[in-house]
Structure 1
Amino acid sequence: MNFVSTRFAAPAVSLSAAVAAGLAPDGGLYVPAKRPLPQRWAGRGSLVGDAEAVLAPFFAGDALAPYLGELCAEAFNFPAPLRALSTPGDHVLELFHGPTAAFKDFGARFLAASLARLQRDRARSLTIVVATSGDTGAAVAAAFHRQPGIRVVVLYPDGRVSPRQAHQLGCFGDNIHALRVAGSFDDCQAMVKQALSDRELQAQVPLSSANSISLGRWLPQMSYYAHAALAHHAASGELLNLVVPTGNLGNAMAAVLARAMGLPLGRIALATNANDVLPRFFHGQAYEPTQSVATLANAMDVGAPSNFERLRWLYANDEAALRLGFRAEAVDDAAIRELIARRYAAAGEVFCPHTATAVALLERLRGEGVTGHWAVAATAHPAKFESVVEPLIGRPIEVPPALAALLQRPANAEPCPPDYAALREFLQT
């Protein structure tokens, strides 16, 4: 299968070429040359097996195809359990059991495994440059740490990630470099996109991306939705509806693509924080990116979600059909705090601020009489946000062993202005 840019001003390329490049030369995001057609699926009984099945059509004929089983087994060696919540019919899909306690471990590890094979026998090293609003950078750093022939440069908005997130970003060292940018995530993302589109720089320093703009990050995120939906349908005969907390739209777009391929997924609702670009669009207003604002759910502090281009592509730029396909709602900080405290007091359920936005939206849907089986995508372990969660529930949160090990390492990040020239200079060193 070949891949094209969402802006259709760049030549079609193979999967391997798209994964290696990150961003298309015209600044667009890579998508399949043909929109997927729905088909019937049978679960294979394991996350790795279901991942291999759902990814196989995209890898067909590519140099990476013979390695697909290895890639899935290497990347997805931790669970993504679907657990029942206290409300009948409601579930949580726990995506935080990886090495950095966030859902982004899935895509980052798959991308790292893919690039490790593509980089074999190449004389020139590759630099992965990535913007993060909190969790992406740590997942990418962990996945690529000490990988030969690859350097990683992570940009994050200084003061706008949680203390534990910041520590993770700076604790790896070796081939991982963290830059704390005096600006917003949108500033970081704009700098990364400019670097990836800088042909003169690329000639000197080969670059790729590990943000959700990367095809190698985006496609494998379908795996856990496919596995959860197939297992749930086999057990209950019901479609699994989803509420996905979203910032840059990559995780949600993975669910949307999985549904378009015919997997047993029903409705998909999008929960944002106070950065409400998507809710405003789905309520009928024009799509107008804005400067992001800082919230408790900081990993979703995005005012210009890149993957909106992929969403438009899937719906052939038919905005009327696109608006009919989704429900999107914003959840502010006050509602996040209230939900975390109330659900713990009522049922002992503990959510990170991002997951809390999705639970809040699911409560709204239930209050409106929406029926069916629903799952909330739990995107991060609440221990990553102890300064927010612990005062609300009145007790310490046990830290997962992998996260505890990272927090014991020394951490360091270099300051960087929100200026592309500064990033360019750093990349050239």
Structure 2
Amino acid sequence: MNFISTRGNAPVATLSQAIAAGLAPDGGLYVPEQMPPARALQPGASLAQTAATLLQPFFAGDVLAGELPAICSEAFDFPAPLRPLATPGDHVLELFHGPTAAFKDFGARFLAASLSRLRGGNGRPLTVVVATSGDTGAAVAAAFHRQPGLQVVVLYPDGRVSPRQAHQLGCLGGNIRALRVAGSFDDCQAMVKQALGDADLQARRPLSSANSISLGRLLPQMGYYADAALQHQARHGKPLNLVIPTGNLGNAMAAVLARQLGVPLGRIVLATNANRVLPDYFAGGDYVPMPSVATLANAMDVGAPSNFERLRGFYRGDDAALRAAFIARAVDDDAIRATIRHRFENQGEVFCPHTATALHVLAQLRASGEAAADQDWAVAATAHPAKFEAVVEPLIGREVPVPAALAELLQRPAHAEPCAPQYDALRTCLLG
């Protein structure tokens, strides 16, 4: 299968070329030249097997095709359970059981396994440059740590990630370098995109990306939605609807692609925090990126969601059709706090601010009748609440147990270098 840029001014690429590049040369995002037909998927397979079956057409004819089962086995070696909630028909899809306690572990590990095979220990090192609003950078750092021939530079907005997230970003060392940027996530993302499009810099230091703009991050995320939906369909005989917390729109885009490939998913609802770019667009306004606003659900503090370009292209630029296909709701910090407190006091459940955002939206859908009583829904739980103890623990009045893998990372010393929010500062760091 070949891949093209959303902007239409870049050469056709193979999957390996698209994964290695991250961003297309014209600044666009790689998408399949054409979507493959629906896949024959069966429940009962392992998560890794389901992911490999779903991804096979995208790898057809590529040098990585024969490695796909092994890559999936490396990336999907921890569970993503679908757990029922107290409200009948409501579920939570727990995506935080990986080494950095966030859903991004799946895609980051898949990308690392792919790039390590493509590099093969030959040639100049490849530098993976990644902007993070909280969880991406830690997942990428952990996945690429000590991988030969691969170096990682992580940019994060100083003071706008949780203390434990910041610690994870700077605690590995070795081939991992953390830059704390005196700006917003949007500044970090713009700097990374400019670096990837800098031909002179690329000639001197080959670069790739590990944000959700990378197909190597985006495509594997279809796997856990397929696994959950197939198991649910087998048990209950109905499709699973989703509420997905979203910032850069990659996780939701993966669900859209999975549904197109025949995965029994129903509606896909987008839950955002006070950054209202997507809710305003889906309510009928123009798509207007705005400076991001800092919130309790910091991983979604995105004012210019990159994958909107992919989503809009998927609907061939038909804004009316795109708006008709989705609901997007914004949730403020007060509602996030109230949801965390309410779920603990009434159900004894503890959630991170991002998952609480989606739970609040699902409760709104149930109350309004937009989510019918006979429909089954799942909220994507994107991170473990222990990563946000400064937010969660005061609201529930007790400590949140820390998963073993996260506790191990938190015991390491951490260091991050300061960086100005201008591209020249990043360029200097990369060439230094």
Tell me the equivalent position of 2:404.
401
SS at structure 2 position matched to 1:190: helix
Tell me the equivalent position of 1:171.
171
Deviations 1:395-419 (A, max 9, x none): 1000000000000000000000001
Aligned partner letter, 2:384 = H
Task: Check whether the contact 1:35–1:314 (CA below 8 A) recurs between aligned residues.
Answer: no
Tell me whether 1:382 sits opposite 2:385 in the alignment.
Answer: yes
1:418 to 409, 417, 421: 421
Aligned partner letter, 1:188 = C
Length-normalised TM-score, structure 2: 0.98
Deviations 1:46-70 (A, max 9, x none): 1011001100010011000000000
Q: Equivalences for 1:211-222 in 2 at 5 Å?
A: 211-222=211-222
Q: Which ranges of 4 or more aligned residues in structure 1 deviate by more than 4 Å?
A: none
Tell me the equivalent position of 2:254.
254
- State the superposition RMSD in angstroms: 0.7
Tell me the equivalent position of 2:238.
238
Deviations 1:312-340 (A, max 9, x none): 11111111110011000000000000000
Tell me the equivalent position of 2:55.
55
Which ranges in structure 2 are unaligned for 5 or more consecutive residues? none
Aligned partner letter, 1:166 = A
Separation in structure 1 between the aligned mates of residue 383 and residue 121 of structure 2, nearest angstrom: 36
Separation in structure 1 between the aligned mates of residue 406 and residue 399 of structure 2, nearest angstrom: 15
Deviations 1:315-374 (A, max 9, x none): 111111100110000000000000000110000011100000100000000001222000
Separation in structure 2 between the aligned mates of residue 48 and residue 260 of structure 1, nearest angstrom: 20
Tell me the equivalent position of 1:150.
150
Aligned-pair CA distance for 1:121: 4.1
SS at structure 1 position matched to 2:235: helix
Tell me the equivalent position of 1:41.
41
Task: Check whether the contact 2:141–2:169 (CA below 8 A) recurs between aligned residues.
Answer: yes
SS at structure 1 position matched to 2:178: strand
Separation in structure 1 between the aligned mates of residue 295 and residue 264 of structure 2, nearest angstrom: 34
How high is the sequence identity, in percent, across the aligned residues? 72
Aligned-pair CA distance for 1:251: 0.4
SS at structure 2 position matched to 1:391: helix
SS at structure 2 position matched to 1:305: coil
Tell me the equivalent position of 1:355.
355
Separation in structure 1 between the aligned mates of residue 409 and residue 22 of structure 2, nearest angstrom: 27
Tell me the equivalent position of 2:3.
3
Aligned-pair CA distance for 1:44: 4.5
Aligned partner letter, 1:399 = V
Which range moves more in the overlay, 258-267 or 44-53? Answer: 44-53
Deviations 1:96-125 (A, max 9, x none): 000000000000000000000000042211
Separation in structure 1 between the aligned mates of residue 27 and residue 92 of structure 2, nearest angstrom: 35
Aligned-pair CA distance for 1:41: 2.6
Aligned-pair CA distance for 1:40: 4.1
| Count of residue pairs the alignment pairs up | 429
Aligned partner letter, 2:238 = E
Aligned partner letter, 1:327 = I
Tell me whether 1:306 sits opposite 2:309 in the alignment.
Answer: no
Tell me whether 1:297 sits opposite 2:300 in the alignment.
Answer: no
Task: Check whether the contact 1:246–1:300 (CA below 8 A) recurs between aligned residues.
Answer: yes
Aligned-pair CA distance for 1:285: 0.2
Aligned-pair CA distance for 1:235: 1.0
Separation in structure 1 between the aligned mates of residue 429 and residue 45 of structure 2, nearest angstrom: 46
Aligned-pair CA distance for 1:42: 1.9
Tell me the equivalent position of 1:20.
20
Separation in structure 1 between the aligned mates of residue 57 and residue 288 of structure 2, nearest angstrom: 34
